[in-house]
Amino acid sequence: MNNQAELISIGNELLSGRTLNTHGQDLGTALAAIGLQLVRDTTIPDDIPTIGSAIKEAMGRVDLVFASGGLGPTVDDITRDALGRLLERKIVLHLPTVNHLKGWYQKRGRTITDAGKRQALVLENSAVLPNSVGAAPGQRIDLSAGKTLFVLPGPPNEFNAILSEEIVPWLQDRYADARPRLVRIVHTKGIGESDIVTILEKANFQSGGIDLGFYPGGGKVEIRLVANPEKEPEILGAEQQLRDLLADFLDLE
């Protein structure tokens, strides 16, 4: 069981630029906080074969796959259909969700229609994850070889509510031994990336297995060091080396 995850965001509106996709940032942050890692973020259109192949390929690489979008009541909400075909599972009506939807519509002065009830359709034998702020629930689908597929609605507030209320607690229990990666940050100003690299190369700076990232902006450069928990001495040593080599350019504000 590895601690890596992939996200597949589904929706023509994401690819057209009409809708900003924030799921990768939100999921990556939530997973990192509990010692898991988002390693790939893929956006695909509302197309059954494409959805099926993308999820199948992701499940071949990692143990945790997240799919978002396409769970609404309209004809282009086809994620359930794609998953039913891929996993060879029936799509069934989840009655507790129907009752939830009736109340959800009633609070808005509306009466649920047959189209609205479509949002209560789930894959057979999935664990249904309540949506406390919206309509369609999420689903957790446990697969062979310890792999898990999470299916989430597309709207960011609904995605994040189910993620924080239902999924993160489950992951914390399943990955109880996972620890967040260590992160140290060095801020510089008055020096560009290429000049920083020149200084480090002349000093034969070695990261010692520590991941380095350089993020320029506004006349400053943020150097981010990331390492696995067991490499605490190495990351602290690398940070101190950077601070010593770049002492004349440190941004201490």
Asked whether residue 244 falls in the same domain as residue 197, the answer is: yes
CATH code for the domain of 212: 3.30.70.2860
- Is the Cβ–Cβ distance between 90 and 124 less than 8 Å? yes
pLDDT higher than 70, residue 1: no
What mean pLDDT do residues 10-24 have?
94
Asked whether residue 95 falls in the same domain as residue 13, the answer is: yes
The residues facing 211 across adjacent strands are 226
What mean pLDDT do residues 121-131 have?
96
Determine if the pTM surpasses 0.85: yes
pLDDT digit string (tens) for 196-253? 999 999 999 988 889 999 999 988 999 999 999 999 999 999 999 999 999 999 998 7
- Is the Cβ–Cβ distance between 82 and 154 less than 8 Å? no
Which one of 120, 148, 174 terminates a domain? 174
Which one of 148, 174, 200 terminates a domain? 174
CATH code for the domain of 39: 3.40.980.10
Asked whether residue 233 falls in the same domain as residue 152, the answer is: no
Residue in 178, 184, 180 with CA at minimum distance from that of residue 208:
184
Asked whether residue 44 falls in the same domain as residue 129, the answer is: yes
- Is the Cβ–Cβ distance between 246 and 212 less than 8 Å? no
Question: pLDDT averaged over the chain?
Answer: 94
Asked whether residue 100 falls in the same domain as residue 186, the answer is: no
Which one of 121, 146, 174 terminates a domain? 174
The residue with tokens 């519509």 is: 105
Asked whether residue 105 falls in the same domain as residue 207, the answer is: no
Please count the structural domains in the chain: 2
Asked whether residue 123 falls in the same domain as residue 85, the answer is: yes
Residue in 68, 60, 57 with CA at minimum distance from that of residue 7:
68
Element at 23 (helix H, strand E):
helix 23-32
Asked whether residue 221 falls in the same domain as residue 123, the answer is: no
Range of the domain at 37: 4-174
Asked whether residue 186 falls in the same domain as residue 164, the answer is: no
- Is the Cβ–Cβ distance between 27 and 175 less than 8 Å? no
Asked whether residue 121 falls in the same domain as residue 162, the answer is: yes
